[in-house]
Amino acid sequence: MALHDRLDSHKAVETVWGKLIPEKDAYRYATREIAAFCSNIFQVMRILEPDFEKRTEAICEMSYNLNMGVSGEEYLNTFYDDWNIPEFCEKSSWLGAIFGDYGDEAENMAGRVIQFTRDRVEKELDTCPWDIVGAELCNMTTAMFTANFDLANGGENDVALNMCEARGCGDRHCRVVAERRSTFGLPKQGFLDHMGTPVMPVHNTPEERMVKNGQILRNGQYSNAFGEEHSLEYDYRWLCEFGWAWCVAFPLAVIRDLPDDEDEFLRIFRIIFSTAGKNLFMEPFSKRAVRDWLGAPDSIGDNDPRLMGAYIKTLMDCQLVPNELDAFTKDEVRIKVTADDFNGRFEMAPMDELAIGYEALWHNAVKTLVSAEWSCWFEGIDEDEMTIVIGRKIDKRMI
Amino acid sequence: MLFREDEVARAEAKAIRESAGWYRWTHDLVEIKGPDADRLVQYLYVNDMAKAPVGRTKYTTMLNEDGKIIDDVIVMHMDENLYWVSTLYAPQLLKWIAAHDEGFDVACSDITKLYDMYAVQGPESTTFMNALVTEPVDGLKRFAVMDDAIDGVPATIHRAGFTGELGYEIYVPMESTKTIEEALRRVGDELGYPEITILEVYVRSIPVEKGFALRQDMYGLTPFECDLDWSVCMDKEFIGKEALEKAQSEGPARRLMGLEFLNDSYEDIAQREIVYRKGVPCGFVRTAIYGYTVDKNIGFAVIDAKKAIIGEEVTVGENDSPAIICDKVFV
């Protein structure tokens, strides 16, 4: 018989109702979800430090130092060797750019290396999932690139970095240009000097040849100019670790210390995430979209906590966070997760703020997605084993 | 990326095609020496190294047990029981040799950091070289080496290159590299032969025009799928031979082909960009670059053998960028 014995297999996240979310869609969703969390913490920062320059410089300095610590010379050297970067590519000139290009594509920042010479590197992006966050983050990434170039150079680099365009600032492209200072006669830059104009003219890709997706989504893998490749699986995992590190853990290291005491930080932090949660499903059509996304059957009514429970579980699955359904009824949803898995996605820098932020976000989101009768809270939020609960709660001081 | 309007890149490409130019050209270098060196290089590589006596060199691919290309190199027979292997992947090659050298009395080492390397390429490169070295290189055959000297520094001259033009490679002790670079610049300036500075010109644009692929373009294909039949000697034992014989009898599953991109530029095409024939995936791009001699955007792609038809119209990537399948050799 000529029939196939079975269907082809493909990876997917399966919702509680059997709807399959293809691996690529799950990866895309995880990317944007991290960016959304990042957006919220930047709102916290803006409340705590009203001065744009002060807060931007602070997160630049911190991210530079942390990137130096996280990446490290040994890490970059391993990268250099593993990726078979030929000897004629001087580390001091090139490695920072190669590493940066890989990081962009791993996080679905779609674009291209326009120029790659000893004295000048130009990278152009057509998309950036983080373009909703704001200009401080764009500045912050240049500080991280500076760390990459310093690490590659074994000390202070010889590069002037300019993000002369940024989608987070409203430009069509993001564009980072690195020019060798000794060649172009350029001064050393401070952390806030990286949004200037490069010496040499840039190449502007016409709109009709811009791309909508990174290589991972277009081609199922990343491949660089040296032919070295990373799979979708590898980069998805990389995103779900390092994505949280650079755009959440790094700035949080500054934001936590902006107020005089932790209570004030947590008060504002919770308010921001609560507001975001209240608005998450405000539009009536967004509820229909969530039901479609999850494959919720008609038997799940409008006032059923399982809708929110399925949403939370699917989100965690898409973020590669191990979790276990403990209860899933019309009266209660309980999802077990460990603090290590939930808060320690980037193992070197676990963040309690992930649980605190999502608790505030989901507690308020459930009120628009399901109804105000329902609440969401984390049992054991300070313990190793946590349970995310969606249940009925009456609180005369509920916010 | 290279673009049509880049006049600096165009001038550098023109120098290589029409006169001569020089550049620092380093790759990794592995030394294989010992009583069984001849036997080992025969076993590692598909080409017949016995046909490369001392002083001669050969291009060859290296296969894994599945008969698929994992490296392509120039093997240089430097002396009795002594070979240099020019590769971009010395650490990988050493690991590979270590896994396959049981029963061979050889010593292998990475000597990349001991030598610096320069290239002089172009139809007038013999004139350039003769103004540079002590002994004229006119008699040096293609894929042959000779000892010479530049400004008193001993140099090994290899008549070869990756441009498809007459050319030479110069190997010098690392500690003398400044002397050689100064000599190249001085003589080049006197004769009007420029330094070529843009990596993508001499590693991609110029070679692709002549159909020269990098290992990364051929990785995972058989030599037959890359039209390298001429380099395979089936009358000897080598790693991957059994699988290669089977592949040969079955015919190629895929082919490394040329692609001519029809848009003005190729910013939407990365390595591994998917190629579609009538909307159906039929392969993937390996490289895309601007060729200043042909004045076109060109590249290589791995295409399903049955669909690797020269002249066939295809599209590439999510923007449906038009392209035509063509021969790998553009000039």
Looking at chain A, which residue has its C-alpha nearest residue B198?
A117
pLDDT for res A87: 61
pLDDT for res A91: 65
Between CA B12 and CA B10 the distance in angstroms is 5
Between CA A193 and CA A190 the distance in angstroms is 5
Q: Which 3 state secondary structure label does DSSP give A86?
A: coil
Q: How confident is the model at residue A387 (pLDDT cuts 50, 70, 90)?
A: very high
CATH of domain A259-392: 3.30.1380
Tokens at residue B308, please?
A: 């690797």
pLDDT in tens, A44-103: 999 999 999 999 999 999 999 998 888 777 777 777 777 767 666 666 666 777 778 888
B198 touches chain A (CB under 8 A): yes
pLDDT for res A86: 65
Alpha-carbon distance B286 to nearest alpha carbon in chain A (angstroms): 8
Between CA A83 and CA A77 the distance in angstroms is 10
Task: Tell me what the mean pLDDT of segment A345-374 comes to.
Answer: 96
Contact B27 A118 (CB under 8 A): no
pLDDT for res A151: 85
Which distant-in-sequence residues (6+ apart) come within 8 Å of A346 by Cβ?
A241, A242, A244, A245, A249
DSSP for A203-264 reads ----GGG--SS-HHHHHSEEE-TT--EEEHHHHHHHHHHHHHIIIIIHHHHHHTTSSSSHHH
pLDDT for res A101: 86
Q: Which 3 state secondary structure label does DSSP give B304?
A: strand
Contact A209 B267 (CB under 8 A): yes
pLDDT in tens, B121-151: 999 999 999 999 999 999 999 999 999 999 9
Closest by CA position to A104, among listed A222, A269, A231: A222
Across A111-115, A155-159, B274-278, least confident range:
A155-159
Between CA A399 and CA B98 the distance in angstroms is 67
B321 touches chain A (CB under 8 A): yes
Contacts of B274 in chain A (CB under 8 A): 218-219
Task: Tell me what the mean pLDDT of segment A178-198 comes to.
Answer: 95
pLDDT in tens, B39-55: 999 999 999 999 999 99
Q: Is B113 exposed, middle or buried (0-12, 13-18, 19+ CB in 10 A)?
A: exposed
* B301 phi-psi bin (left φ>0, alpha ψ -120 to 50, beta other): beta
B14 touches chain A (CB under 8 A): no
pLDDT for res A226: 79
Sign of the torsion formed by the C-alpha atoms of A211, A214, A219 and A223: positive
Position B18, amino acid: E
Q: Which 3 state secondary structure label does DSSP give B30?
A: strand
Can you give the residue ranges of every domain in chain A? Answer: 50-254, 259-392
Between CA B290 and CA B272 the distance in angstroms is 17
Cβ contact B143:B185 at 8 Å: no
Position A125, amino acid: L
Chain A interface with B: residues with Cβ < 8 Å: 81, 84, 86-89, 112-118, 124, 203, 205-206, 208-213, 215, 218-219, 221, 223-229
- Count CB atoms within 10 A of the CB of residue B175: 10
Q: Which one is predicted more confidently, A93 or A134?
A: A134
pLDDT in tens, B235-266: 999 999 999 999 999 999 999 999 999 999 99
pLDDT for res A241: 95
Between CA B289 and CA A370 the distance in angstroms is 54
pLDDT surpasses 80 at A147? yes
Between CA A366 and CA A381 the distance in angstroms is 19
Cβ contact B75:B253 at 8 Å: no
Task: Tell me what the mean pLDDT of segment B59-77 comes to.
Answer: 98
Q: Which one is predicted more confidently, A399 or A333?
A: A333
Alpha-carbon distance A101 to nearest alpha carbon in chain B (angstroms): 12
Q: Which one is predicted more confidently, B189 or B92?
A: B189
Tokens at residue B268, please?
A: 């939407």
- Count CB atoms within 10 A of the CB of residue A382: 9
DSSP count for chain B of H helices, then E strands: 9, 16
B25 touches chain A (CB under 8 A): yes
Task: Tell me what the mean pLDDT of segment A146-156 comes to.
Answer: 85
Task: Tell me what the mean pLDDT of segment A239-246 comes to.
Answer: 95
pLDDT for res B215: 94
pLDDT in tens, B146-199: 999 999 999 999 999 999 999 999 999 999 999 999 999 999 999 999 999 998
pLDDT for res A348: 87
pLDDT for res A70: 80
